Chains A and B, each alone.
Chain A
Amino acid sequence: MAGIQDKQDTGVLVSNVPLLTLLTAFLKIGVRSWGGGTATIYVMHRELVDRGWITSEQFTVDFGLSRIIPGINLLAMAVMVGYRLNGVFGSFAGILGLMLPTSLITLVITLGFAGLTANPIGEATVRGAVPVTAALTFALAFDWTVLFPWRELRVVALMVLCALASFLLAAVLDVSVAFIIVGSAVAGAFLLRPSKREKDP
């Protein structure tokens, strides 16, 4: 497992994934993620974690980090995960894989859009995707709570509080997402450190 992977990248389970394999995985993510960004996060999570490339924890960390970067977060996510899996070339494989099919489909839809919206069945299909998209979001949020360190009761209680606060700030008060993430990170640095006793399980 040597190579360009940093040994401190504990959430990355394999190193130097062949570029073609990486590209194919992200092409698959692009083609399969109908239903907007949420579907993309969901498909990406399943694709990367189920292949045993990165841990779910690593995924949530990169999800948070990607939100600090300007522009489309999921593209930053593709760059970051690609970089973790095979350096700079990996980052290109990641973002190109995600962008190639999706931008071509976007272009094709742009060229033929008038015909699509005139059709009530097309319109109904789009409406049907909205509740599924909401469900994808909640399902993933639930899956991520499984990652909380449930044995450390104090930490978990604080993390649940932090998740609730993040939800309220974003959903009700419309506070900027970057602010919420940075705030949670700073609070975490002080309040959520692992206690000495349970280090190195």
Chain B
Amino acid sequence: MNFLELLLVFLKAALLSSGGLQALPILEDELIIQRSVLTDGDFATAVAIGRITPGPNGLFVISIGYYAGGLPGALAGVLGIMIPPFLGIALVRAHRRLAGRPWVEGVTRGMMASAVGLLSALGYSFGAPLLSEPASIAILVASLAALLIVRADVLLVLAGGAIAAVGLYFLGVPLA
């Protein structure tokens, strides 16, 4: 597919989704079911890459773009996800105009509370599948202690998790 076509598909997916992963079913429908430019295997690979790569979830569209249209396709993916976030400017301006009123303070507190709950729900979605393997739980608890008690650097904690996982692999201990 050419650059412009792909850009429009990626923009549509970004505008109709909230959070990077929600774009997936929309792209699946557009690129696999309707146009058959990609296979399920391409998608699975792209999603796997999106999990390894640093940064926010949803960068898998760069891989999808590459599979569907080479380097220009990858660029279409980058641009497609970078345009909708600029709606945030309008939201900040609206928020500023209203700041300082008691009900806005209440709104802020409500959002703060839901942020804690939603973040925990995200952690739960990562953590629940780990409960079957004690070694995974041990890494989770050790990381949590390193972050909250020692205030260790994120990269150190991630590296620790990776080193532990490789060590456990050689010892034959299963990880979830």
Contacts and interface: CB of A to CB of B under 8 A. Distances in A.
B84 interface: yes
B13 to A, nearest CB: 9
7 contacts: A8-B96, A8-B97, A63-B111, A70-B84, A76-B85, A158-B113, A190-B103
A148 B17 CA distance: 30
Interface of A: 6, 8-10, 30-43, 46, 57, 60-80, 83-84, 88, 91, 95, 98-99, 101-103, 105-107, 109-111, 113, 116-117, 120-121, 124-145, 147-149, 155, 158-160, 162-171, 176-178, 180-181, 183-194, 199
A65 B163 CA distance: 37
A75 to B, nearest CB: 4
Contacts of B160: 132
B89 A88 contact: yes
A134 B81 contact: no
Contacts of A8: 96-97, 99-100
Given A65-B91, A75-B82, A186-B107, 14 more contacts: A36-B56, A61-B111, A67-B19, A67-B118, A68-B18, A80-B91, A110-B62, A128-B163, A128-B164, A134-B123, A139-B148, A163-B117, A181-B118, A189-B104
A78 B146 CA distance: 27
Contact of A178 (B18, B102, B122): B18
Contacts of B62: 103, 106-107, 110
Contact of A166 (B84, B114, B165): B114
Given A139-B148, A165-B117, A171-B121, A117 B66 contact: no
Contacts of A117: 48
Contacts of B154: 32-33, 35, 39, 42-43, 46, 136
A79 B117 contact: no
B70 to A, nearest CB: 11
B174 to A, nearest CB: 10
Given A128-B161, A129-B162, A184-B114, A80 B123 contact: no
Contact of A188 (B88, B109, B162): B109
Q: Across the A-B interface, give the 9 residue pairs with the lowest CB-CB distance, nearest first.
A: A188-B110, A128-B165, A166-B117, A102-B55, A137-B123, A64-B111, A135-B143, A184-B114, A132-B161
